[in-house]
A = this chain, B = another copy of it.
Protein backbone atom coordinates (compact mmCIF):
# COMPACT_ATOMS: atom_id res chain seq x y z
CA UNK A 1 0.00 0.00 0.00
CA UNK A 2 0.85 3.65 0.29
CA UNK A 3 2.60 3.24 3.65
CA UNK A 4 5.48 1.04 4.73
CA UNK A 5 4.65 0.62 8.40
CA UNK A 6 7.83 0.02 10.30
CA UNK A 7 6.75 -3.26 11.91
CA UNK A 8 10.17 -3.95 13.34
CA UNK A 9 10.35 -0.74 15.28
CA UNK A 10 9.17 -2.27 18.55
CA UNK A 11 11.97 -4.80 18.38
CA UNK A 12 14.56 -2.22 17.37
CA UNK A 13 13.53 0.79 19.44
CA UNK A 14 11.28 -0.63 22.17
CA UNK A 15 7.84 0.61 21.11
CA UNK A 16 5.80 0.31 17.89
CA UNK A 17 5.74 3.16 15.37
CA UNK A 18 3.61 6.07 16.64
CA UNK A 19 1.35 7.63 13.99
CA UNK A 20 1.49 11.41 13.49
CA UNK A 21 -2.03 11.99 12.09
CA UNK A 22 -1.86 15.74 11.39
CA UNK A 23 -0.42 15.40 7.90
CA UNK A 24 -2.57 12.46 6.85
CA UNK A 25 -6.13 11.99 5.65
CA UNK A 26 -8.54 10.35 8.06
CA UNK A 27 -8.54 7.29 5.85
CA UNK A 28 -4.76 6.98 5.86
CA UNK A 29 -4.58 7.40 9.63
CA UNK A 30 -7.25 4.76 10.19
CA UNK A 31 -5.60 2.20 7.92
CA UNK A 32 -2.18 2.59 9.51
CA UNK A 33 -3.54 2.57 13.06
CA UNK A 34 -5.67 -0.49 12.32
CA UNK A 35 -2.66 -2.45 11.15
CA UNK A 36 -0.78 -1.50 14.30
CA UNK A 37 -3.71 -2.12 16.66
CA UNK A 38 -4.13 -5.57 15.22
CA UNK A 39 -0.54 -6.44 15.96
CA UNK A 40 0.17 -4.64 19.26
CA UNK A 41 -1.61 -4.07 22.57
CA UNK A 42 -0.46 -0.49 23.09
CA UNK A 43 -0.67 1.84 20.09
CA UNK A 44 -0.65 5.64 19.79
CA UNK A 45 -1.84 8.19 17.21
CA UNK A 46 -1.01 11.85 17.91
CA UNK A 47 -2.67 15.07 16.66
CA UNK A 48 -5.71 13.00 15.65
CA UNK A 49 -9.16 14.35 15.00
CA UNK A 50 -12.07 12.78 16.87
CA UNK A 51 -13.16 11.41 13.48
CA UNK A 52 -10.19 9.07 13.37
CA UNK A 53 -11.26 7.71 16.73
CA UNK A 54 -14.84 7.29 15.61
CA UNK A 55 -13.79 5.34 12.53
CA UNK A 56 -11.62 3.02 14.64
CA UNK A 57 -14.04 2.48 17.51
CA UNK A 58 -16.33 -0.10 15.85
CA UNK A 59 -13.42 -2.41 15.09
CA UNK A 60 -11.28 -1.72 18.15
CA UNK A 61 -13.44 -1.65 21.27
CA UNK A 62 -10.51 -0.69 23.47
CA UNK A 63 -9.61 2.40 21.47
CA UNK A 64 -9.75 5.70 23.42
CA UNK A 65 -9.62 9.39 22.58
CA UNK A 66 -8.37 12.26 24.70
CA UNK A 67 -9.81 15.63 23.73
CA UNK A 68 -7.16 17.68 25.45
CA UNK A 69 -4.09 16.15 23.85
CA UNK A 70 -5.92 14.98 20.71
CA UNK A 71 -4.43 11.50 21.09
CA UNK A 72 -6.15 8.34 19.92
CA UNK A 73 -4.82 5.18 21.54
CA UNK A 74 -5.21 1.54 22.47
CA UNK A 75 -3.86 0.83 25.93
CA UNK A 76 -4.72 -2.76 26.83
CA UNK A 77 -1.48 -3.88 28.44
CA UNK A 78 -1.18 -1.84 31.62
CA UNK A 79 1.70 -3.76 33.20
CA UNK A 80 3.92 -1.17 34.83
CA UNK A 81 7.33 -1.44 33.23
CA UNK A 82 9.38 0.81 35.42
CA UNK A 83 8.14 -0.09 38.90
CA UNK A 84 7.74 2.83 41.22
CA UNK A 85 10.00 5.22 39.36
CA UNK A 86 8.07 8.35 38.67
CA UNK A 87 8.15 10.75 35.75
CA UNK A 88 7.05 14.22 36.85
CA UNK A 89 5.33 16.35 34.20
CA UNK A 90 5.50 19.99 35.24
CA UNK A 91 3.88 22.96 33.47
CA UNK A 92 4.40 26.69 33.83
CA UNK A 93 0.77 27.60 33.12
CA UNK A 94 -2.63 26.07 32.59
CA UNK A 95 -2.40 26.83 28.86
CA UNK A 96 0.47 24.37 28.56
CA UNK A 97 -1.67 21.47 29.80
CA UNK A 98 -2.66 20.00 26.39
CA UNK A 99 0.99 19.50 25.50
CA UNK A 100 1.73 18.19 28.99
CA UNK A 101 -1.08 15.67 28.68
CA UNK A 102 0.39 14.42 25.40
CA UNK A 103 3.64 13.80 27.25
CA UNK A 104 1.98 12.25 30.30
CA UNK A 105 -0.30 9.91 28.36
CA UNK A 106 2.56 8.82 26.11
CA UNK A 107 4.67 7.92 29.12
CA UNK A 108 1.79 6.08 30.79
CA UNK A 109 0.93 4.03 27.71
CA UNK A 110 4.59 3.05 27.51
CA UNK A 111 4.37 1.65 31.06
CA UNK A 112 5.47 4.51 33.29
CA UNK A 113 3.99 6.05 36.42
CA UNK A 114 3.39 9.78 35.95
CA UNK A 115 2.87 12.61 38.42
CA UNK A 116 1.33 15.83 37.12
CA UNK A 117 2.44 19.15 38.66
CA UNK A 118 0.70 21.87 36.69
CA UNK A 119 0.65 25.69 36.74
CA UNK A 120 3.76 26.34 38.83
CA UNK A 121 5.51 28.92 36.63
CA UNK A 122 8.31 31.17 37.82
CA UNK A 123 6.20 34.31 38.27
CA UNK A 124 5.07 32.73 41.56
CA UNK A 125 8.09 30.71 42.68
CA UNK A 126 6.48 29.55 45.94
CA UNK A 127 4.14 27.33 43.92
CA UNK A 128 7.13 25.50 42.49
CA UNK A 129 9.05 25.41 45.75
CA UNK A 130 6.00 23.89 47.43
CA UNK A 131 6.51 20.87 45.15
CA UNK A 132 10.25 20.80 45.52
CA UNK A 133 10.39 17.49 47.31
CA UNK A 134 8.18 15.67 44.80
CA UNK A 135 10.24 17.10 41.98
CA UNK A 136 13.50 16.02 43.56
CA UNK A 137 12.08 12.53 44.12
CA UNK A 138 11.02 12.05 40.52
CA UNK A 139 13.32 9.94 38.38
CA UNK A 140 12.87 12.11 35.28
CA UNK A 141 11.32 15.57 34.98
CA UNK A 142 9.49 16.84 31.93
CA UNK A 143 9.12 20.64 31.98
CA UNK A 144 6.49 22.13 29.67
CA UNK A 145 6.53 25.90 29.30
CA UNK A 146 5.80 28.62 26.75
CA UNK A 147 6.52 32.33 26.89
CA UNK A 148 10.03 32.73 28.36
CA UNK A 149 10.45 29.03 29.16
CA UNK A 150 12.33 29.87 32.35
CA UNK A 151 10.89 26.97 34.31
CA UNK A 152 13.27 24.46 32.69
CA UNK A 153 16.33 26.24 34.06
CA UNK A 154 14.85 26.62 37.52
CA UNK A 155 13.89 22.93 37.75
CA UNK A 156 17.24 21.96 36.23
CA UNK A 157 18.97 23.81 39.07
CA UNK A 158 17.03 21.92 41.73
CA UNK A 159 17.57 18.28 40.74
CA UNK A 160 20.27 15.73 39.99
CA UNK A 161 18.09 13.86 37.49
CA UNK A 162 17.54 14.57 33.79
CA UNK A 163 15.16 17.30 32.70
CA UNK A 164 13.43 17.05 29.32
CA UNK A 165 12.27 20.52 28.28
CA UNK A 166 9.29 21.05 25.97
CA UNK A 167 8.87 24.59 24.63
CA UNK A 168 5.25 25.43 23.82
CA UNK A 169 3.81 27.91 21.37
CA UNK A 170 1.78 29.53 24.15
CA UNK A 171 2.26 33.27 24.39
CA UNK A 172 1.75 36.12 21.97
CA UNK A 173 3.64 38.77 20.14
CA UNK A 174 7.34 38.13 20.17
CA UNK A 175 7.05 34.48 21.24
CA UNK A 176 7.06 33.78 17.48
CA UNK A 177 5.20 30.46 17.75
CA UNK A 178 7.37 29.01 20.47
CA UNK A 179 10.73 30.36 19.37
CA UNK A 180 11.23 32.33 22.59
CA UNK A 181 10.79 29.30 24.83
CA UNK A 182 12.79 27.07 22.48
CA UNK A 183 15.82 29.36 22.45
CA UNK A 184 15.59 29.94 26.19
CA UNK A 185 15.55 26.21 26.92
CA UNK A 186 18.44 25.49 24.55
CA UNK A 187 20.43 28.19 26.36
CA UNK A 188 19.63 26.94 29.84
CA UNK A 189 22.40 27.78 32.29
CA UNK A 190 21.49 24.68 34.26
CA UNK A 191 23.04 21.48 32.98
CA UNK A 192 21.15 18.21 32.72
CA UNK A 193 18.54 19.81 30.46
CA UNK A 194 17.86 18.72 26.89
CA UNK A 195 15.15 19.90 24.57
CA UNK A 196 12.58 18.49 22.15
CA UNK A 197 10.64 20.24 19.40
CA UNK A 198 8.09 22.99 20.10
CA UNK A 199 4.79 21.51 21.35
CA UNK A 200 6.25 18.00 21.04
CA UNK A 201 4.73 16.45 24.15
CA UNK A 202 4.94 13.02 22.58
CA UNK A 203 8.69 13.29 22.01
CA UNK A 204 9.27 14.29 25.62
CA UNK A 205 7.09 11.51 26.97
CA UNK A 206 8.90 8.96 24.84
CA UNK A 207 12.38 10.24 25.76
CA UNK A 208 11.50 10.28 29.45
CA UNK A 209 10.08 6.77 29.22
CA UNK A 210 13.26 5.43 27.62
CA UNK A 211 15.40 7.04 30.31
CA UNK A 212 13.07 5.84 33.04
CA UNK A 213 13.54 2.29 31.87
CA UNK A 214 17.33 2.31 32.21
CA UNK A 215 18.90 0.28 34.96
Contacts and interface: CB of A to CB of B under 8 A. Distances in A.
Contacts of A195: 186, 194-196
Contacts of A160: 12-14, 210
User: What bracket does the count of chain A residues touching chain B fall in?
Assistant: 35 or more
A12 to B, nearest CB: 7
A213 to B, nearest CB: 9
B197 A174 contact: yes
Nearest to A117: B4
A23 B194 contact: no
B198 A173 contact: yes
Given A97-B2, A150-B148, A199-B172, A121 B189 contact: yes
What's the number of copies of this chain in the assembled complex?
A: 8
Interface in A111-136: 118-127
A13 B200 CA distance: 26
A39 interface: no
A78 interface: no
A210 B198 CA distance: 24
A57 interface: no
Contact of A184 (B127, B149, B199): B149
Given A118-B4, A148-B185, A191 B178 contact: no
Interface stretch (A48-56, A58-66, A161-169): A161-169
Interface in A132-159: 139, 146-150, 152-154, 156-159
Nearest to A136: B12
A173 B199 contact: yes
Given A4-B127, A13-B157, A122-B189, 6 more contacts: A5-B119, A148-B150, A148-B153, A148-B185, A173-B200, A194-B203
